[in-house]
């Protein structure tokens, strides 16, 4: 089955810095790559996603890049703010109907 590795497990940055979280996956059939943000006491919330026919997608301060050949994708957050502090999960879907396999999560701490 699909295996998703996520690094780093924790990331501390200063407000205004950039943050990058990387994930690698094993199944070349995976074609959908969402990123979720989970705040304390809440369920995960989709923040950005990308499909395998696109190499990069940007939404304001957030961007995701995908390298299908190397089977890895990354989340980039620029100009980080304290409210970006949360746990971020990458995920993949190799079924086409949203059976997601999640990474282990990255705890991001943005200090003022």
Partner 1 sequence: DSGVTQTPKHLITATGQRVTLRCSPRSGDLSVYWYQQSLDQGLQFLIQYYNGEERAKGNILERFSAQQFPDLHSELNLSSLELGDSALYFCASSTLLAGGRNEQFFGPGTRLTVL
- For partner 1, the binding residues (CB under 8 A) are 34, 36, 41-46, 49, 89, 95, 97-105
Nearer to partner 1, 44 or 80 (CB): 44
CB of 16 to partner 1, least distance (A): 29
Nearer to partner 1, 10 or 104 (CB): 104
CB of 73 to partner 1, least distance (A): 17
Output phi, psi for 76, to 5 deg. -120, 125
- As a whole number of angstroms, the longest Cα–Cα distance in the chain is 41
Distances (CA, A) of 38 to 63, 85, 96, 112: 17, 9, 24, 20
């Amino acid at each position: 089955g699909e295996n998703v590795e996520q690094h780093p497990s924790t990331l501390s940055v200063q407000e205004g810095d950039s943050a990058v979280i990387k994930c690698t996956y094993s199944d070349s059939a995976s074609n959908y790559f969402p990123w979720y943000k989970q705040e304390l006491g809440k369920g995960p919330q989709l923040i950005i996603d990308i499909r395998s026919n696109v190499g990069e997608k940007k939404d304001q301060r957030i961007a995701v890049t995908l390298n299908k050949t190397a089977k890895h994708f990354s989340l980039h957050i620029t100009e980080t703010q304290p409210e970006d502090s949360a746990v971020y999960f990458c995920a993949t879907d190799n079924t086409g109907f949203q059976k997601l396999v999640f990474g282990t999560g990255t705890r991001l701490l943005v200090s003022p």
